[in-house]
Every structure is written in C-alpha cells, then in structure tokens.
Amino acid sequence: MNLMSVDLYQSATDPEKFLALPAGTDPTELMGPMTFDRDFAHVRLYKEGFEFDPSESYAGVNAAKIAADILTVKWAIYHREA
C-alpha cells in the first residue's frame, strides 16, 4: 500500500487517544470522532504531514485499521496499546 500523508491530533483530555486525518483536513469541521468519543471534542496537533505507511508496524497501534478508516470515513481514532 502507498504512503499516506496524515495529520495526527492528540486528545486534550486523554493523551493516549489520537485522531488521524488526511493532511490538511480541519478537525473542527468533523463531527464523527467526537460522536464516538467525547475525548475528541478538543484536540491539539501532535504531528503534521506524517508519512504513514499502513504496511509498517507502529508500536501499540493497528496501522491497517487506521488506513482503512481514513480511506473509508476520512478519519481514524485510536489509542496507544501497551
């Protein structure tokens, strides 16, 4: 699978929760993430323009699921797992 340029946001209320969006997407225009989890009502930019490779292994996250969510609903919420 190709690299995806994404912006990563961190929940302001729970630092273990993250939101991944296609690069340049304004998170304030999305209702979906906060509908599923109120911790995403307030987010702060964590990493901008991250070159995400869905086939890579990233510690504590399911990269394939994040990529699938971004491709289908244009956003992905996840949290770091131990």
Q: How many CB atoms lie within 10 A of CB 80?
A: 12
> pLDDT, tens digit, for every residue of 28-73?
899 889 888 999 999 999 999 999 898 888 888 888 899 999 999 9
Contact 32, 38 (CB under 8 A): no
Q: State the residue range of the domain holding 16.
A: 4-79
Residue with tokens 């929760």: 17
Query: Which is more confident, 79 or 43?
Result: 43
**CATH code of the domain containing 72:** 3.10.510
In whole angstroms, give the CA distance from residue 30 to residue 33: 7
Number of domains in the chain: 1
Least confident range from 8-17, 18-27, 51-60: namely: 51-60
When pLDDT is cut at 50, 70 and 90, the band that residue 82 belongs to is low
Both tokens of 31, joined, read: 């209702």
